[in-house]
Amino acid sequence: MIAELGEAGVLAGLRWAYLSATTRALETYVESDGHDAAWLGNTRFTLFRDRLDRVFACERYAVSSENADADLDLLYAELSDRDIDTLPRLDPALVRRSNLNGSPGWAHEGRRFLLASCAFGKLDQLPWPQKSATKQRVAQQRNPEPPQPSLFEAFTEEEIGGLEVALTAERQLDMTTFVVAHSLDPLSQQMELVFGRARLNSGGSEAWHWRQDLLGTPPGHGGRRTNDTPLPTGPNTVPDAPVRLRRQAEEQRRDRASGEW
């Protein structure tokens, strides 16, 4: 699955959004101006959410075929030159917004991911029972890989009496949901970003069924698309007109501004 998300460009989008958001938050963080850890955490989260919507063309950054120039102006607003240069050019239909009980979420091919912050260096001890009820439900999902034996396997269907079905339905979500967990040490400016399957760790057990570091080893070439980069192989049922509109508008914009660069 991680390889699939990497090839599609989803992991590249996640990495870009977090680096852009965290860099901007650190640039504006000034303790002498009254900023504290709470301010930094809230700002980082807000910018991360915004950058994810930008790179995946969601919410206010959705691509419009009516005015592609305006789309680009909004997309690039307040971004640094580095952010613009490294922004992965992805199909606008690749990821869609899929919130869960008010918690911001994004979905690709039937898989949703939510965001969760953590104290730096504590990702493996992330206390899901202390998180929101929504995050606890996500952490309660049964991990299908590898399959875990059921507590009810020793009983017949009549003996179970529907108990297993009731318990499973109680914790079932409308979509398989993963977590993108992130952390930051403001002093050293070290960052952490992982994608994984949360595990409800009551009693101090492990916090993940599995997790993938997205910063230690940058995702492959899955995200950025240029004229000489082939699209992923396989069937493509999504019309590519919106992508062409965005590229054409970008080229026109650069042609007009070429005398100023």
Please give the torsion angle defined by the CA atoms of residues 147, 176, 174 and 93, in that order, rounded to the nearest 10 degrees: -150
Nearest Cα to Cα of residue 187 among 18, 45, 37: 37
Predicted local confidence at residue 172, as pLDDT? 76
Q: Is 157 exposed, middle or buried (0-12, 13-18, 19+ CB in 10 A)?
A: exposed
Q: What is the largest CA-CA distance in the chain?
A: 79
DSSP β-bridge partners for residue 114? 105, 179
Q: Residue 26: which domain range?
A: 2-233+240-260
Q: How many domains is the chain built from?
A: 1
DSSP label of 62 = -
Instruction: Per-residue pLDDT tens, the chain, 261 aa: give them.
Output: 899 999 999 999 999 999 999 999 999 999 999 999 999 999 999 999 999 999 999 999 998 767 777 889 999 999 999 999 999 999 999 999 999 999 999 999 999 999 999 999 999 999 999 999 999 999 999 877 654 444 434 444 444 344 333 334 345 799 999 999 999 999 999 999 999 999 999 877 899 999 999 998 554 443 333 233 332 323 333 333 333 334 444 544 444 443 433
Read out DSSP for 111-174? Answer: EEEEEEE--TT-GGG--GGGS-HHHHHHHTSPP-SSPPPPTTTTS-HHHHTTHHHHHHHHH--S
Q: Which long-range contacts (CB under 8 A, 24 or more apart) does 243-247 make?
A: 243/89, 243/91, 243/92, 245/63, 245/65, 245/68, 245/71, 246/63, 246/68, 246/71, 246/72, 246/89, 246/92, 247/89
Please give the torsion angle defined by the CA atoms of residues 250, 253, 257 and 258, in that order, rounded to the nearest 10 degrees: 50
199-223 pLDDT, tens digit each: 999 877 899 999 999 998 554 443 3
Helices and strands (H, E) in the chain, number of each type:
9, 6
| Sign of CA pseudo-dihedral 71, 72, 78, 83 | positive
Q: At what angle do helices 10-28 and 37-55 cross, to 10 degrees?
A: 140
Cα-Cα end-to-end distance for the chain: 41
210, 197 in Cβ contact below 8 A?
yes
The pTM assigned to this predicted structure is 0.75
Nearest Cα to Cα of residue 26 among 136, 189, 177: 189
